[in-house]
Chain A
Amino acid sequence: KAGVTQTPRYLIKTRGQQVTLSCSPISGHRSVSWYQQTPGQGLQFLFEYFSETQRNKGNFPGRFSGRQFSNSRSEMNVSTLELGDSALYLCASSSWTEAYNEQFFGPGTRLTVL
């Protein structure tokens, strides 16, 4: 089975722009979670989508949004970029067939805001 894929792998934007990141989960997985990783704040949960619905949400401003499509692929959007949005954005997918579902992580998208 192919793993979780994220595109693009690297992205450079300027302040004020917006950006869209994509995550394709492992085939059959219906849950996709997004995390932001920065040196200062560490790994923080952004949100989780399951069956096209946002099911869990972290403490991020409304500039961060996401969606999930019927094929379980997910996109994350950040509007009005700030310097502090520079980070590694990781997505993780899980199958959600049992009480415990391992989250499989993608390689991440490195976003740099200039």
Chain B
Amino acid sequence: AQTVTQSQPEMSVQEAETVTLSCTYDTSENNYYLFWYKQPPSRQMILVIRQEAYKQQNATENRFSVNFQKAAKSFSLKISDSQLGDTAMYFCAFMKQRRGAQKLVFGQGTRLTINP
């Protein structure tokens, strides 16, 4: 079974700072996807960024980037130039890369607060 661990229950930074959220996972699969989802107070789950395990290049989406270390099973999210709208719960998630495998396995989440 796959497990996802987020060791930082809460984090708080000032606006415009850079923040890194940590995530480790455990799996025996070789092909899989990793995700970071954002859940603001509205509770709507929003995909922030996705990484395919077979890709060595780290994914980036504007101010969001990841540091994917496959051997270490580590997948951290870096938010640059943080904004007040980044305040949310952030979940790291895992999904097997297999046709029909639509199950997401989530970490416990990190509550991120961006202070003005």
Report A's interface with B, CB cutoff 8 A: 31, 33, 35, 42-45, 48, 50, 55-56, 58, 88, 90, 92, 94, 96, 99-103, 105, 107-108
Once the chains are docked, how many angstroms separate the CA of A92 from the CA of B46? 11
* Residue of B with least CB distance to A90: B45
* Residue of B with least CB distance to A33: B102
Q: Are A42 and B107 in contact (CB under 8 A)?
A: yes
Once the chains are docked, how many angstroms separate the CA of A29 from the CA of B17? 39
The B interface, classified by DSSP as helix, strand, loop or mixed, is loop
Q: Are B33 and A88 in contact (CB under 8 A)?
A: no
Q: Are A56 and B103 in contact (CB under 8 A)?
A: yes
User: Is residue B91 contacting chain A, with contact meaning CB distance below 8 A?
Assistant: yes
Once the chains are docked, how many angstroms separate the CA of A94 from the CA of B103? 11
Question: Can you report 27 residue pairs joining A to B where beta carbons are below 8 Å apart?
Answer: A33-B102, A33-B103, A35-B106, A42-B107, A42-B108, A43-B91, A43-B104, A44-B106, A45-B104, A45-B105, A48-B102, A55-B100, A56-B102, A56-B103, A90-B45, A92-B104, A99-B97, A100-B50, A100-B52, A100-B97, A102-B50, A103-B104, A105-B44, A105-B46, A107-B43, A108-B43, A108-B44
Complex interface: chain B residues within 8 A of A107 (CB): 42-44
Q: Are A45 and B103 in contact (CB under 8 A)?
A: yes
- Which of B44, B45, B52 has the largest count of A CB atoms less than 10 A from its CB? B45
Q: Are B102 and A101 in contact (CB under 8 A)?
A: yes
Q: Are A94 and B97 in contact (CB under 8 A)?
A: no
Once the chains are docked, how many angstroms separate the CA of A101 from the CA of B101? 10
Complex interface: chain A residues within 8 A of B44 (CB): 105, 107-108
Once the chains are docked, how many angstroms separate the CA of A48 from the CA of B50? 21
Once the chains are docked, how many angstroms separate the CA of A50 from the CA of B50? 23
Nearest chain B CB to A111 CB, angstrom units: 13
Complex interface: chain A residues within 8 A of B47 (CB): 102-103
* Residue of A with least CB distance to B6: A42
Once the chains are docked, how many angstroms separate the CA of A58 from the CA of B50? 23
Nearest 9 CB-CB pairs, A to B? A105-B45, A43-B106, A48-B102, A45-B103, A42-B108, A56-B103, A108-B43, A107-B44, A33-B102
Once the chains are docked, how many angstroms separate the CA of A45 from the CA of B101? 12
Once the chains are docked, how many angstroms separate the CA of A102 from the CA of B61? 15
